[in-house]
A and B are shown apart, each in its own frame.
Chain A
Amino acid sequence: AQSVTQPDIHITVSEGASLELRCNYSYGATPYLFWYVQSPGQGLQLLLKYFSGDTLVQGIKGFEAEFKRSQSSFNLRKPSVHWSDAAEYFCAVARGSSASKIIFGSGTRLSIRP
């Protein structure tokens, strides 16, 4: 069965510093991979997705993620964080055959130090 692990429950970085949020997945074939962001009191918003092709994916709000098959990872990065990036970040994986079967990780809460 597919699964996704986000090993970091909470991360704090200084404003302007770089960010990397970790995500590892378990799936037999090439998965569809996603990062969503949830701001306080809001629903989730899709940041970026990987289906195939270039393993470095650009998303909204200056985020990018890199798919590394050898490490079963899909880490999210941003070169310089802003205070408005404070939120909960969810990595997710899906099978290609069923649009409904998105499995979410447990989330990483990002705090920004002024």
Chain B
Amino acid sequence: DTAVSQTPKYLVTQMGNDKSIKCEQNLGHDTMYWYKQDSKKFLKIMFSYNNKELIINETVPNRFSPKSPDKAHLNLHINSLELGDSAVYFCATEGTGEAYEQYFGPGTRLTVT
């Protein structure tokens, strides 16, 4: 039973399109994150949600819009995709009292052509 799952695993799309990546967790954790890992494996936080509330919004273009419909889900919608958006996007969760012990999903590899 997967703790943090992401769909799709792979996403290939053309520039200018709009796409969404979904994340679901069954750990009951209050905090969820989106990270971007570029081609050099550099991992950077994008957003953080706590109990459906946006906590952290790093310097990310406003074409990226996270949405948390409930505590178990955090989706990432990307408008007007650009070549530079190609990366692996990871969802992660963190439980209250488990400071910094983050549980990562398997990632979504986005390729923009």
Q: Which residues of A contact B (CB under 8 A)?
A: 32, 34, 41-46, 49, 51, 88, 90, 94, 98-102, 104, 106-107, 109
Contact = CB atoms under 8 A, between A and B. Distances in A.
A104 B43 contact: yes
Given A104-B43, A106-B40, A99 B100 contact: yes
The residue in A41, A45, A100, A106 that gathers the most chain B C-beta atoms within 10 A of its C-beta is A100
A99 B31 contact: yes
Interface in B36-83: 40-45, 48, 55-56
User: Taking chain B's interface residues, is the majority helix, strand, or loop, or is none over half, making it mixed?
Assistant: strand
A45 B40 CA distance: 19
Contacts of B41: 88, 106-107, 109
Given A42-B107, A100-B56, A107-B42, 17 more contacts: A41-B106, A43-B90, A43-B106, A44-B92, A44-B102, A46-B102, A49-B100, A49-B101, A51-B99, A99-B99, A99-B100, A100-B31, A100-B55, A101-B56, A102-B100, A104-B44, A109-B41
Contact of B45 (A32, A51, A102, A109): A102
Main secondary structure on chain A at its contact with chain B?
strand
A41 B54 CA distance: 28
A101 to B, nearest CB: 8
Contacts of A100: 31, 33, 45, 48, 55-56
Interface string B98-113: 0111111111000000
B21 interface: no
Given A41-B106, A43-B106, A100-B48, A34 B100 contact: yes
Contact of A102 (B40, B42, B102, B105): B102
A94 B56 CA distance: 14
A102 B40 CA distance: 18
10 contacts: A32-B100, A43-B90, A88-B41, A99-B94, A99-B100, A100-B55, A101-B56, A102-B45, A106-B40, A109-B41
